Amino acid sequence: MTASIALKTPAKVNPILEVLGKRADGYHELALVFQTVALYDELDFSESPRGLHLEILESPFPLAADDSNLILKAAKLFFTEILQEERGVQIRLKKKIPLAAGLGGGSSDAAATLLGLDSLFKSQEGAGKRMALAAQLGSDVPFFLTGGTALGTGRGEKITAWTPGPEMALVLVKPQEGLSTPAVYQSGKAVMTKGDRAHDFKAVLREGNMAKIGRALFNGLEPATFFLRPEVEAIKKRLLEAGALGALVSGSGPTVFGLAESPSQARHIGAEMEGKGHSVFAVQTVPVGAI
């Protein structure tokens, strides 16, 4: 029987994202909080006689299955750096997480590919090697190797796991058009801060008061996102008017998430946001990564 591994790989939001300054290598120094949420892509890995193939079984939007896809980049890196030989594998994807949305879907898929192939081919390499490869693939990829709640520093690739925060009910609202992360940084509208909000957020989560969590949300890239896409600011305003305890652009956007008092309120707010040309998801935070 052909060996296979199936994984569900989650999206993320960033309750805190601080831009500390620009580095000599051209990247920006960050301090940010990651949190996985229950919106999943599905990946299936199975051995095949030869070659590396990616089949997209389901996607609500156009998605390339070529060398630009992070899944294939991760697979090739795994074979080169860990197995050190090419093996035949068929990868099948059901895509649910929107693209260019600030939700980390591509990064999550890349991390799941490293984990899935590691399990499929029973690699003996440790977590440290996977983390190093993940950092080569993208700044968000290392976080998704473990998921849950974590502090990210450096470019975001240096991960310090936190005790999972309280379960939170969220509404994600994604405009139809995506947004380029480089464009957000290049706009010159990001707000620079010192990193205190990210580090202090750990105590806010530990207290578990949803109203305080809502008031603590912060994203230094949000003004840049609003500058490039004014309709995103209008989405945040509507979420707050609909009853969200707090609302924030996730990552570089354009998705905005609203914090609700309960799952039922999240569904109610989500229903209020439907029918306006956006993708709307009522989700809850989850304490783990790929499952």
pLDDT tens for 186-224 read 999 999 999 999 999 999 999 999 999 999 999 999 999
- Cα-based distances in Å from 228 to 16, 175, 176, 237, 248: 20, 13, 15, 17, 16
Q: DSSP character for 169?
A: E
Query: Count of alpha carbons within 13 Å of 202, Cβ hemisphere only?
Result: 14
Evaluate whether 166 touches 262 at the Cβ level (below 8 Å). no
Q: What is the mean pLDDT of the chain?
A: 94
164 alpha carbon, distance to own chain's centre: 16
- Cα-based distances in Å from 192 to 16, 197, 226: 13, 12, 16
pLDDT at position 2: 65
pLDDT at position 238: 96
Q: Please, which residues have CB within 8 angstroms of residue 107's CB and are 6 or more apart in sequence?
A: 70, 137, 138, 139, 140, 141, 143, 144
Q: Hey, is 16 helix, strand or coil?
A: strand
pLDDT at position 220: 98
Amino acid at 78: F
Tell me the Ramachandran region of residue 84: left when phi exceeds 0, alpha when psi lies from -120 to 50, beta otherwise.
left
Active site residues: 12, 140
Verify cis geometry, omega within 30 degrees of 0, for the bond prior to 254: yes
pLDDT at position 50: 82
Q: What proportions of the chain, in percent to the nearest 5, are helix, strand and coil?
A: 35, 30, 35
The H or E element containing residue 123 is: none
pLDDT at position 49: 86
Tell me the Ramachandran region of residue 169: left when phi exceeds 0, alpha when psi lies from -120 to 50, beta otherwise.
beta
Q: DSSP character for 189?
A: -
Name all domains of the chain by residue range, CATH numbers in brackets: 4-162 (3.30.230.10), 169-284 (3.30.70.890)
Spatial separation of the C-alpha atoms in residues 129 and 83, rounded to whole Å: 12
Q: What are the per-10-residue average pLDDT scores of the chain (291 residues)?
A: 88 98 90 98 94 91 87 95 87 95 96 96 84 94 97 96 96 92 92 96 96 98 96 96 98 96 97 88 97 92
State the alpha helices, DSSP H only, in 229-273: 230-241, 263-273
Buried b (16+ CB within 10 A) or exposed e, 79-118: beebeeeebebbbbbebbbbebbbbbbbbbbbbbbbbbbb
Nearest to 93 by CA among 161, 7, 33: 7
Q: DSSP character for 192?
A: B
